[in-house]
Structure 1
């Protein structure tokens, strides 16, 4: 029996017969390395094979001749192949009903967390990370809201998936910053490795993100650009960087970092764009500097800041 995309999809959906399952799993475990690849570790070889297949299928143009492939979206096939290359049935479901650990930060608070697989997560303020007490042998899935820097332990056979309200991020072993607050755009900035980023609403096709690239998910879909990644992880060292952002967006970052409430009375000021950087500033100095550039007046009472 020949292994076809249709058969792979059946396997991914757990619809195969025992005979079909045996054939596919034998195919998955075959070592088809060439002579030039013999010195590459098996896990590295599988990882390159995995990403190669994903990128190859994404690149297929929709103008192909009519065939059964037209009955499935391009990414559905790519996802099936990618999942199967991990030698497991990697379904898009929440973690199994085992004990779930909830890690949470308050405004003005940051935490470092080490997961059971060795992954390290640096949580920014007002963030929630839900993880299983221990990852199963088939997957590494977490649920996330907020902002965090992930240093994902490398495991090419068991992808690491981060699920938010709007997006889905799949990695094998990378370092990246993910901002996914519920009321803001989702933004992923990649330092190392490769990431597959997916819009759960289907506004755009999933894309592969490479080092020094940033992908933003807003109401129009996904947009990818090249960036200097150091600016997007500066929050871990109390470094604030604003890159042509609206003052409303800036105010949200200040609220989270300092545990304050900001009330902006001037509606036009919310849309005003600002670019600048601050190294661990005090809240009074920060607001004072911003008021000078953006020409607003302010009043600070306790943790409440009113801006006119």
Structure 2
């Protein structure tokens, strides 16, 4: 069971959290991913603790162990002494958000002063230019997991299995740009001053306030399906050859060329409502879809020479039900051993 984390320092001095952040936040560590996505307060704590840890880590690359230890002790002392020294406002009307950032500012001030002092001592004869880069935030789902995320600008993201979005911590203030790997459905908060931009491979989708689905899995052509509003889509390598979509239209990027068409909403983004749907999809692609959806590994025996196309639609269905239906249609038996699935086609198929 996860501990209760209510302050930045709870995270800063938690060895598991520090290791997760400094190791690049591996997606397989579901404990921390689920905790961050649990509620908005956790997300705020994470964002600010992450900025501090990465700043400290950057200094650690040039500081000796003793100096790093001293820096951490100064931070710890700053946190413990905040009330007596009056660094933080204690007004009852102050929001949790402001309290978080006041703590963050005070801690980062210690890091900055320590950094400047260290550079001054060790580089007296050279000028040093310090640039503060925006922290990168990553939200990711492993196979078998879907999630609903709230972005800082008020937009909502439904993130599919084996998918990831990446954006900077100033998202919603200076920009609304993010990168997507996998698949997501976006409900964009209206803001004409800051267009909402999704980059998925070479495809770029720009919206002001609308809802749309983007699929960017490796086995499929990158595509965008528009549910409401209007979006502009272009190939990053050919920006002038852009396309505008109205609801019910989709665009695909295949071999560096954009093409427009129409789509079935249930097939395109029914997944966010628990609907597994495919129409005349190659079996090899259906196999990959099932592996992603149910977090399993599927092996096939006596596979037909022809990659047969198959259709199906299942609402909140178990893997057994899906395999039973497909097996009857395509002529295979199956065996389930925990997360390993073995399909065996009939010899005459």
1:174 equivalenced with 2:181 (yes/no): no
Please list the CA deviations of residues 42-80 of structure 1 after superposition, one character each: whole Å capped at 9, or x if unmatched. Answer: xxxxxxxxxxxxxxxxxxxxxxxxxxxxxxxxxxxxxxx
* Structure with larger RCO (C-alpha < 8 A, sep 6+): 1
Higher-helix-fraction structure: 2
Whole-angstrom CA distance in 1 between matches of 2:195 and 2:239: 24
Residue equivalent to 2:133: 97
Whole-angstrom CA distance in 2 between matches of 1:248 and 1:296: 14
Whole-angstrom CA distance in 2 between matches of 1:266 and 1:165: 35
Q: How many angstroms does 1:266 deviate by? A: 4.8
Residue equivalent to 1:245: 281
Instruction: Summarize the Cα distance change of 1:161–1:287 in structure 2 as closer, same or farther, 3 Å threshold.
Output: same
Instruction: Summarize the Cα distance change of 1:288–1:136 in structure 2 as closer, same or farther, 3 Å threshold.
Output: closer
TM-score where L is the length of structure 1: 0.64
Kindly report which structure 2 residues correspond to 1:150-229, keeping only aligned pairs within 5 A, or say none.
150-202=186-238, 205-219=241-255, 221-229=257-265
Whole-angstrom CA distance in 1 between matches of 2:218 and 2:294: 19
Residue equivalent to 2:152: 116
Whole-angstrom CA distance in 2 between matches of 1:243 and 1:203: 32
TM-score where L is the length of structure 2: 0.57
Whole-angstrom CA distance in 1 between matches of 2:300 and 2:231: 37
Residue equivalent to 1:90: none
Residue equivalent to 2:171: 135
**Does the residue aligned with 2:285 lie in a helix, a strand or coil?**
helix
**Does the residue aligned with 1:297 lie in a helix, a strand or coil?**
strand
**Does the residue aligned with 1:290 lie in a helix, a strand or coil?**
helix
Number of aligned positions between the proteins? 213
List, as ranges, runs of 4+ consecutive aligned residues in structure 1 with deviation greater than 6 Å. none
Residue equivalent to 2:73: none
Kindly report which structure 2 residues correspond to 1:55-66, keeping only aligned pairs within 5 A, or say none.
none
Deviates more, 1:133-142 or 1:243-252: 133-142
Whole-angstrom CA distance in 1 between matches of 2:260 and 2:331: 33
RMSD after superposition:
2.2
Gapped regions of structure 1 (runs ≥ 5):
1-95
Do 2:266 and 2:275's aligned partners in 1 also have CA atoms closer than 8 Å? no
Instruction: Summarize the Cα distance change of 1:167–1:295 in structure 2 as closer, same or farther, 3 Å threshold.
Output: same
Residue equivalent to 2:309: 273
Whole-angstrom CA distance in 2 between matches of 1:133 and 1:110: 23
Q: How many angstroms does 1:220 deviate by? A: 6.2
Kindly report which structure 2 residues correspond to 1:30-109, keeping only aligned pairs within 5 A, or say none.
97-109=133-145
If you compute each CA radius of gyration, which structure gives the higher value, 1 or 2?
Answer: 2
Please list the CA deviations of residues 161-204 of structure 1 after superposition, one character each: whole Å capped at 9, or x if unmatched. Answer: 11122311111111011111234321211101111112235499
